Amino acid sequence: VKRVLVTGASGFVGRHSLPLLIERGYEVHAVARGAIPAAAELRWHACDLLDDRAVGALLAEVRPSHLLHLAWYAVPGSFWSAPENLDWAAATLRLVRGFAAHGGRRLAAAGSCAEYDWSHARLAEATTPCTPRSLYGTAKNAVRACIEQVAARLGLSWAWGRLFFLYGPHEASGRLVSDVIAGLLAGRRVAVSEGTQRRDFLHVEDVARALVALLDGAFEGPLNVASGTVVPVRDIVARIGALTGRAELIDYGARPLPAGDPVELVGAVDRLTALGFRPRYDLEAGLAETVAWWRDRERA
């Protein structure tokens, strides 16, 4: 039996990954820190991943063969430089040790495009230096480097999906797409930057599909989970304006571009594509689906 422990299971990517894992025949054990939704097809475990003893007890009970590790400190805005990044780096190193010690074999984890040196525009696994500028990127990269060195020794097979820019249903507020949609649907004016920066966006369901495929495959090492194409942030905002019919509420240039923010970031997707992965959503369809989800939510 393939028995997977999913951390961050109630999070943005995590919740989208659960049905995909069930589809692939996994016995799914989902970890959340707080309240636990009832679910027939999977088992939820309440566990604070920062508590070593609780994690040890959980691993001893579940004895997962697979680990999909998505949990991290993710409060919008503050996650870039929050000291909690150290806690999650430490917790991840110990989780990996414990997973291996309890018979674990295969892990996939969420890395980040922030691990790369952002003075490069096209970020490629084999060639772009990993010299992160942020604490978040540094902590993710630190964990990745340690796992890379220890995996064989622990008898682990591992893949590290570097996530780029995500959007989709259930995104937390305080992020670009969620805030623009929620603001416009509520009829508020929305302040954004000029939006000249170009980014690589992928719908969260495609991100979850890629990570689940990675976990279920044999690829070893880091791999970009990205669309391979860039779009100016302004185009995304304008598309949401059109979809909501409230483009006139958008104040472009009312916010400054973040200081030092790179002009362009795009993920090389050669590795991902070679595994047979194709996104289901292009940006137009993905944003339409996301706006529809927010509309439904407002009605509910």
User: Tokens standing for 184?
Assistant: 């416009």
| Footprint of a second copy on 228-257 (CB under 8 A) | none
**Cα angle vertex 104, ends 103, 105, to 5°?**
115
User: Are 68 and 96 within 8 A, CB to CB?
Assistant: no
Distance CA(138)–CA(260), nearest Å, equals: 17
Question: Is residue 54 a contact residue for a second copy (CB under 8 A)?
Answer: no
Pick the binder of a second copy from 6, 18, 59, 142 (CB under 8 A).
Answer: 142
User: Are 28 and 22 within 8 A, CB to CB?
Assistant: yes
Number of residues that bind a second copy (CB under 8 A): 29
What residues are paired with 67 via a beta bridge?
5, 107
Give me the 121-140 binding string for a second copy, x by CB under 8 A, dash otherwise.
-----------x-xx--xx-
Q: Alpha helices, DSSP H only, in the chain?
A: 12-23, 52-62, 84-101, 135-150, 176-185, 204-216, 233-244, 270-274, 283-299
| Footprint of a second copy on 65-104 (CB under 8 A) | 81, 83, 85-87, 89-91, 93-94, 96-97, 100
Element (H, E) at 109: strand 106-112
User: Tokens standing for 287?
Assistant: 């944003």
- Binding part of the chain for a second copy, among 148-156, 195-203, 255-263, 268-276 by CB under 8 A, reads 148-156
Question: Is residue 149 a contact residue for a second copy (CB under 8 A)?
Answer: yes
Min separation Cβ 95 and a second copy, Å? 9
Min separation Cβ 206 and a second copy, Å? 30
Question: Is residue 20 a contact residue for a second copy (CB under 8 A)?
Answer: no
Pick the binder of a second copy from 2, 3, 36, 52 (CB under 8 A).
Answer: 52
Give contact residues for a second copy (rule: CB under 8 A).
Answer: 52, 81, 83, 85-87, 89-91, 93-94, 96-97, 100, 132, 134-135, 138-139, 141-143, 145-146, 148-150, 153-154
